[in-house]
Chain A
Amino acid sequence: MNQTFPWLILFLPLIAAVGITLLTQRSKSLSAVLSIGAIAASFLLSLVLFMSLKGNIGLNETLAKSWLSVGNLQVDFGFKLDSLSLLMLLIVTGVGTAIHVYSWGYMHDDPSVSRYFASLSLFTFSMLGIVLSNNLVMMFIFWELVGLSSYLLIGFWYQKNSAADAAKKAFLTNRIGDFGFLMGIILIWALVGTVDFTRLQDAFRANPALLGTSATAAGLLIFCGAMGKSAQFPLHVWLPDAMEGPTPVSALIHAATMVAAGVYMLCRVFFLFSPTALEVIAWIGGLTSLMAALIAVQQQDIKRILAYSTLSQLGYMVMAVGLQGPAASMYHLTTHAFFKALLFLGAGSVIHAMHHEQNIWQMGNLKKKMPATYWTFLIGTLALCGVPPFSGFFSKDAILAVAWEHNSWLFCIALFVAFLTTFYMFRLFFVAFHGVGKSKSVDHAHESPSIMTTPLWLLAIPSVISGWLGVEHFVGKNFGMTGDHHLNFIEEIFYPFSHAPFAAMTGIMATIVGFSLAYALYSKAVVDPLPEKLHGLSRAMRNRFYWDEIFNGLIRITHEAAATLANGIDRWIIGGFFVKGLHGTTEFAGRALRLVQTGNIQTYALLLVAGLAVVLFLILH
């Protein structure tokens, strides 16, 4: 059973994608059923696989078929099944199933639903490939496939220029990161001689200083990949723009799963990072999370707020990895996947009801109109803000505890980000759902159909309870974490207070402060009061700290310089020197020599004699 299940889990979505593309393009509902069926089946199989493998002590099963063998490069097509990949498998297929179902309601009127579901299934296939792969090369291949399907889905409404541009931007930005990732893989292969995770880990266990002086370089190159995929500074610019895609796509790919792939990858190869590399990773994560949270405070588009919130939470996870807490990071990834997907789907429901109005200052008073969306959104918000006993509290606390243990500066940043998170989430919440209706669309708003609200409730459940299940200890086994991992339900709930009470208490304090501030400022606001108070800072936040403009400027400058240089080389060196020079010298020599050809035979005779004389002189002399 364990032999065939991973293959089925991985390939069912691919079969669905191929089937939809080749056979059922015409029939929307058949395509949807195929796609939803494939991922639901994958989910059930993952569940069975999880149950059967959970009890295993080692929990470290790999199935591999040799795929590529060149010289001493051995690449398998195989699966690594351990607590890390099993957990991720459940998240991807579980959240994925809910979102697939929701999509069917959300995309119902779109003319190219079949294409949508084909891309979505292709994405699921690629994502599962990343999760299951047992070596770096296979992971890289699926990594690129994920990039491709993300491109296809962001640019799903390719008729819109903004969507097409966003897709290109995402693809190109990811390409930069992936280049580093590839370099890292090559470096590791060159130094260690294998790309297989298990063998790499064994090699590192036997000799931690295996990479020698290149350890930091290799780690940071690998991190480049995560930087692109998980949108860490400075490659974060693509994620907010990726919100141009359909909202369920934003929920699945750009909040719950794909962007988490970077974090997952970091945890997967956690053993090969040197302390310096980890330090850099932690700081980049911390700064990303701070910057994104600040930007989120002044955004107006409901999806963009959530996008920056995602960035900020991803920064949290990356920071946790850097602070040597991969288990905490995976924990937050798990809970975040649920509640962020929930929030995005809730936002999608709102957007659907508001006839594609995304500005929160055009909403208001949606509580009455959309109760199901309201309550589930509230659950998601509470979870994201880290209110006990919602799941976000436990995972965020795990990260805070790790930060408190290792780096007090980053702890302060994390705490401040927690405060900001609560602030901007409740700003969004109060402005969109409470207060007075701020536009006419509000009057026409109505609750979404049950095919959309059911997934909301389905995601709301794990958003609440996934903190009570001991995810951290389950994943922790992978990183050699030992200790009290047989907590019961109640102990699990009070674990944060017994484990690191200071972090837990300060975390709750930050949340309370954030909530109070948001309540004071926004519970009755009709226009945003912050710009008047913060002036320039608020403008900078609203304009995303001008990163897009800076990058545009930089790219324009470098591009122009490169173009000028290339033009100069072409015009002066290739065209001027080689082409014109060659032809010019030939022509000049021809013109000069033509003067000699007078047609006068006596001149020729004289020259001939003179030449002969010279030759004779040289020979005889």
Chain B
Amino acid sequence: MSPIGLEHFLAVSGLLFFTGLLGVIVRRNILIMYMSLELMLNAANLALVAFSRFNNNLNGQVMVFFIITVAAAEVSVGLALIVALHRKRQSAHVEDLATLKL
């Protein structure tokens, strides 16, 4: 068996990313969609860390820290929005939240 290389990391990252994307596109519950979004972010993080590790360059890891920070902030805002929406509509399903159109 060959040693674990960059491709493996990237493959896992890609798989995670597409799992997340699929979740965003097909799941109806807005909370689940939110979790899937986090999954996509983390897939990106994984890829960045892998690049950083294999290129002997810390820039990628620095980037990941930023992403984690921004994601944390984003989660708090997003969850607050979801809670507010739920209070207003009594629902967490995206089909019920499709009024923003002509």
Contacts and interface: CB of A to CB of B under 8 A. Distances in A.
B101 A605 contact: no
A602 B102 contact: no
Given A606-B25, A609-B25, A601 B94 contact: yes
Contacts of B102: 594, 597
Contacts of A602: 24-26, 33, 94
A529 interface: no
Contacts of B94: 600-602
Main secondary structure of the interface of B (DSSP, over half): helix
B7 interface: no
B21 A600 contact: no
A586 to B, nearest CB: 15
Contacts of B97: 601
Interface SS of chain A: helix, strand, loop or mixed?
helix
B25 A599 contact: no
Nearest to A597: B101
Contact of B95 (A597, A600, A609): A600
A609 B25 CA distance: 10
A interface, size bucket: 10 to 19
Contact of A599 (B21, B24, B26, B98): B98
A598 B101 contact: yes
B100 A609 contact: no
A606 B102 CA distance: 20
Interface string A580-621: 000000000000001001111110011001000000000000
Contacts of B33: 602
A602 B102 CA distance: 17
Contacts of A605: 24-25
B99 interface: yes
Nearest to B97: A601
B37 to A, nearest CB: 10
Contacts of A606: 25
Nearest to A596: B101
Contacts of B101: 597-599
Nearest to B99: A599
Interface string B61-90: 000000000000000000000000000000
A609 B36 CA distance: 15
Contacts of A601: 94, 97-98
A605 B24 CA distance: 8
A602 B33 CA distance: 9
A235 to B, nearest CB: 66
Nearest to A609: B21
Contacts of B26: 602
B26 to A, nearest CB: 7
Nearest to B26: A602
A609 B26 CA distance: 13
Nearest to B102: A594
Contacts of A598: 98, 101
Quick one: which of A602, A606, A609 has the most chain B CB within 10 A? A602
Contacts of B99: 599
A588 to B, nearest CB: 15
B60 to A, nearest CB: 21
A320 B75 CA distance: 107
Nearest to A600: B98
Contacts of B25: 602, 605-606, 609
A594, A600, A601, A609, most chain B CB atoms within 10 A: A601
A597 B95 CA distance: 14
Interface string B23-36: 01110000001000
B85 to A, nearest CB: 12
Interface string B10-23: 00000000000100
Contacts of A599: 98-101
Contacts of B24: 602, 605
A599 B98 CA distance: 4
Nearest to B98: A599
A423 B75 CA distance: 116
Nearest to B30: A601
Contacts of B95: 600
A96 to B, nearest CB: 81
A302 to B, nearest CB: 82
B96 to A, nearest CB: 10
B19 to A, nearest CB: 14
Interface in A3-49: none
A605 B94 CA distance: 12
Contacts of A597: 101-102
A605 B99 CA distance: 16
Nearest to A606: B25
Interface string A47-63: 00000000000000000
Nearest to B24: A605
Q: Which 4 A-B pairs have the closest CB atoms?
A: A599-B101, A599-B98, A600-B98, A597-B101
Given A601-B97, A609-B21, 4 more contacts: A600-B94, A600-B98, A602-B24, A602-B26
25 contacts: A594-B102, A597-B101, A597-B102, A598-B98, A598-B101, A599-B98, A599-B99, A599-B100, A599-B101, A600-B94, A600-B95, A600-B98, A601-B94, A601-B97, A601-B98, A602-B24, A602-B25, A602-B26, A602-B33, A602-B94, A605-B24, A605-B25, A606-B25, A609-B21, A609-B25
